[in-house]
Amino acid sequence: MKRIVITGALMLVLSSPVYADNLIYMDQTGSNASININQDGTGNRVGNSGTGNTSVSDGASTTMDIDQVGSSNELDYDVFGDNANITANTQGNSSDIDIQVGTTNSTNAGSDDVTINIQNSGNTNTVSTSVGATASGVDDVNIDVNISGGSNSVTVSENSTAASVTDKLTDIDITGDSNTMTVTKSGAAQHDTTINQTGSSSTYSVTQSGSEASTVNVTTNGSSSSVTITVTD
């Protein structure tokens, strides 16, 4: 197993060729970090909750681009601080993607201006992203998820406030059969959420709450799917 540990504020480019069990562990503190990680192969990891090694970036203005190509790869990353721009691109089957922004560090739970873009292609993948431990101090969040393949599981959780009409926009596109998606959004007003789904026998649940404003736009194309939408003040 190859293990890489990085500490500090930096611009980083890491490329991992075809090695199994390649582990990259990040522990980065400081503002204006630019992180680019490329992994190609099977069983590679960027942080891993099962080993207790969740990668962490703590500081304002983090730009991150992580690409993983191959099966059974894992991405487990926590980001704390304002102006987080995160892109994750995973290609392959049986991978586990978990990205959290401002959700577990009580001293820095607020994260304004957050953009998360997740691209995933393959089957039996698990994709999870969370923003905000509480809605206080979190706004201007835009999450974009594109999934292609069958039997994938997608979970999106967001706690934030809406300070303008550009806040709380979430766009999810899923193509494939037997997928499962759960979206939970809470906090003051303008919840949005757009879902475009193509494929059969999938299950989707959307729950949005907090001081009235909410828009859910779901387009489905396929038979025997189940869609549950719950909106409360």
Label each residue of 154-204 as H, E or C: EEEEEECECCCCCCCEEEEEEECCCCEEEEEEECCCCCCCEEEEECCCCEE
Q: What does 93-106 look like in DSSP terms, one character per residue?
A: SS-EEEEEESSS-T
Tell me the pTM.
Answer: 0.84
pLDDT band at 152 (very low <50, low <70, confident <90, very high): very high
Q: Domain span at residue 194?
A: 2-232
State the pLDDT at residue 179.
Answer: 92
Tens-place pLDDT, residues 202-215: 899 998 887 777 78
Task: For residues 86-91, give the mean pLDDT.
Answer: 93
pLDDT band at 5 (very low <50, low <70, confident <90, very high): very low
For residues 10 and 148, what is the distance between their CA atoms, to the nearest angstrom?
33
Provide the Cα torsion 68, 71, 72, 75; round to 10°: 10
Q: Reply yes or no on whether the pLDDT at 42 is more than 60.
A: yes
Q: What percent of the chain has pLDDT over 90?
A: 35
Q: Residue 229: which of 211, 213, 216 has the closest Cα? A: 216
Q: Residue 123: which of 170, 71, 188 has the closest Cα? A: 71
For residues 152 and 219, what is the distance between their CA atoms, to the nearest angstrom?
18
Q: Reply yes or no on whether the pLDDT at 18 is more than 50.
A: no
Contact at 8 Å (CB) between 82 and 104?
no
Contact at 8 Å (CB) between 171 and 144?
yes
For residues 55 and 78, what is the distance between their CA atoms, to the nearest angstrom?
6
The dihedral region occupied by 163, where left means phi > 0, alpha psi between -120 and 50, and beta the remainder, is: alpha
Tens-place pLDDT, residues 161-195: 766 666 678 899 999 999 999 998 887 777 788 89
What residue type is assigned to position 207 of the chain?
T
State the pLDDT at residue 180.
Answer: 93
What is the domain count for the chain?
1
